Chains A and B, each alone.
Chain A
Amino acid sequence: GENVEQHPSTLSVQEGDSAVIKCTYSDSASNYFPWYKQELGKGPQLIIDIRSNVGEKKDQRIAVTLNKTAKHFSLHITETQPEDSAVYFCAASKGGSYIPTFGRGTSLIVHP
């Protein structure tokens, strides 16, 4: 089955800095890569996703890049704000059922 590795487990930045979270996946057939944000006491919420037919996608301050050859993808958050503090999960899945395998999460802490 699919295996998703995520690094780092904890990331501490100053407000205004950029944050990068990296993930690798094992199944070359995976073609859908969502990123979820989980705030304390809440369920995960989709913040951005990318499909295997594109290499990069941006949405305001967040962007995701995908390298299919190397089987890794990354989340980039620019101009971080305290409200970006949360746990971020990457995931990978194959088309059809869209049942994602999640990484172990990155706790992002943005200091004011």
Chain B
Amino acid sequence: ETGVTQSPTHLIKTRGQQVTLRCSSQSGHNTVSWYQQALGQGPQFIFQYYREEENGRGNFPPRFSGLQFPNYSSELNVNALELDDSALYLCASSLSRQNTGELFFGEGSRLTVL
């Protein structure tokens, strides 16, 4: 059973640019959530996808968008990057119909905006 994998692991962008982060969910999981973790903070919920549909969204502006594909992998896109977007972006997968609620996190993509 493969775990959650994210790419790229690190990247540097400049203000105003756009970025796409990718996530492959754990085998058999149909739900993917994205979190932003600023340095020294807890993960902040961005949005969740279930079977290719957005299933919940946190307090993030529309320039944060996402996709989930038929194989349940996912992308996070951020447009018009700002300095405050610098953070670790975590992807977590889960099997929504399981009763445990456990999230399985990847190791994250660290984004630096200059």
Contact = CB atoms under 8 A, between A and B. Distances in A.
A98 B56 CA distance: 11
A109 B30 CA distance: 36
B17 to A, nearest CB: 25
Interface in A80-96: 89, 91, 93, 95
Contacts of A102: 42-44
A46 B103 contact: yes
By DSSP majority rule, is chain B's interface helix, strand, loop, or mixed?
loop
A99 interface: yes
Contact of A49 (B45, B101, B108): B101
B102 interface: yes
A24 interface: no
B67 to A, nearest CB: 19
Interface string B89-112: 010101010001111011110000
Interface of A: 4, 6, 32, 34, 36, 41-46, 49, 89, 91, 93, 95, 97-105
7 contacts: A36-B103, A98-B96, A98-B103, A99-B45, A99-B48, A104-B40, A104-B41
